Structure 1
Amino acid sequence: MKQTIKTTKLLLLVLLIFISCRNEESVLIPGPNESSFTADSNLAGLMKRTTLKDGSFDNIIDKANCLSIQFPITVFANGIQVIVNSADDFETVENIFDDHDDDADTMQIQFPITVTQEDFKEVTLNNQSQFDALASTCQGENEIDQDIECVDFVFPITVSTFNTVTEQFDKDELQNDRELFDFIEDFKSDDISNIEFPVVVIRSDDTEITTNSMQELESEITSSIDVCDEDDDYDYNDDDCIACELQEFKDLLTGCDDWKINRLTLNSLNLDLLYPLYQFNFATNGTVTVTLLGIPLPIFSGTWTAVGTGQNIEFDISIIGLVEVSNIWTLTEIDLVTGQNRIDFKDDDDRLRFESACN
């Protein structure tokens, strides 16, 4: 009899503990509120697109905006072997291409390689045919694609999920794009998720924006779609001048003598061989004179101006008699190498590069 009473008391105690824990759990379970979103919500789709892995940074190698090649890899740029251990080695490839202005740049990849797709899945490719087939699934150069690149999340982001069927409650602290992508990808139709606000995002101009609600976050992402240059072209490092300063450019241009045209491409035609002996000297008063190598007397003269900052520095040069050079060019790169300083400009697909042996 005593044993029965003890057993009954024990069962009652267990039941009370269970009810107590279930009541405590029910307090933690989140219901739909202003911080909740579901798998089919517009915000979930926007967040997923924002976390897609951008594959355009290595386009000089693969020309595929939705693929990223894992390092190290071995390539042959114009027949020259380059071991690419990191993105820093892309500049070596760029210099090889830049030094061969015959419009026949070639890139050969040594297989096998492993690539990461925009959904973070990894694929091993054993030959060029396999690579070409996968790369063909990407959008082309500067075509509209799904990834939103003009805004990024600042991590960590804390989320909680309640499944309305299993009544299971989970809480996670997400540390990067992949974890947030996987979190949304694994959403079930009967999941409700809450985000802990504030959530901070950073725009392409490095401005940080703090959002305090689902509506603010959705509005910020929506307004950031296609408002910046996503750099989905195949011209590697055409944004080298993101930190260029106008005065730095002017000082270099006027401080060095005898600039030569190292590259001039107009309408896909290479014209730099027309100017092998021309020397350009730029004065601080906005004038430019052109002489022939070994002959100090100017044969052409004109004017120049420069305005803007960063990637938007415009170089306006006008020389009577040199219509191919006269144009409003955009500064794209300043490469300071003792004995071979270079300044690069572009105008759509046209290219101009000055080079000087200035020390």
Structure 2
Amino acid sequence: MKLSLPKFSILLALLIITACAYDEDDNLNNTPNGEFMEIITTDSDLFKNLQDIASNDVRPDKSIACIDFIYPLTLFVFDNSNELLSSHLIIDDDQFSSFLEDLDLSLSISISFPITSTLSTGEEFIINTKEELKAAIDECLNEELVFECNQLIQSCIWKVGYSYNYSNDYLGGIFQESNGFTTLNVNDVLMSGSWSPFIIENELHINIGLNDTSEIGTFFNFDWKVEYLDENSFLLKNGDRELVLNQRCDPEFADCGNFVFEVCETEIGSGISEFILDDYTFCIFDTLELDEAFDINYYETQEEALNSTNAIISSDVFINSENNQSIFVRIDDDENDMQYVMVITLSSIDC
């Protein structure tokens, strides 16, 4: 049975699902048999979708909010020979989520069909099989991901973050919704364009289209495949290209710039200033979304950073030797035995 749903209507309100639970009083002599029931294996996409429905995860790709079960409902558990092991009365999402999480991977489950689904419009349709249930969930999930992706840029700004695998010159650039247009601000150069999420073969994509023919537009104007790093971060991929976007809803996001740190000159025209490198540690950790347990040290040369020698005492005053001097920052993740080296710029300004 193919479901026909009004476009986006499934996102405007909750889809209510009522399950017909197995009633032992009506079937005293009828033990459920896996050969005749709709078995859902733990390695199936449908099983994962059921976990997402029961989940309260804040990440849109880890939960399904547009479908909800009306409890109680009954689940049956079968062994790998499709023999019934147990039945369970589920009363809420928390119990459902815990049950699915703790289920042995060698076992399977079944939900009593048919399932009657009611839209917010009052329209009803009946789901008779697990294939129809999966189709309804897939359609709901795809619409929800597109909707969420569109809403995210309208509610907060997205800041171009640091990627360890692909370098770009636009770190700190800000995507924002403004008067119905998507804008990108890079070093006070403002461009407008579009931010268009869509689904291809159940994968979320964002098409970025800036009205810009410069190197900036050439870098960003692609169809990007979207992966969630966490609830506040996207990883966008196009071939070998990689772009990290971090959501910023706090008012202090602008305090962290493009890793160019400016301090007034000690003497006008000298190009020399006094810097305290510790002052920039928070910005680096915040922009790179680093764990506070990581170690960070500053070096004057890349070689020193790679060899971890002659670290600058970051709490002391550091006097740059030239304007716009590069400082190499080494970040150590001891738990995973990984090291990263990045560059910041110390800029002396006339003020």
TM score, norm. by length of structure 2: 0.31
Q: Higher RCO, 1 or 2 (CA under 8 Å, sep at least 6)?
A: 1
Q: What TM-score, normalized by structure 1, do the two folds share?
A: 0.30
Highest CA radius of gyration, 1 or 2?
1
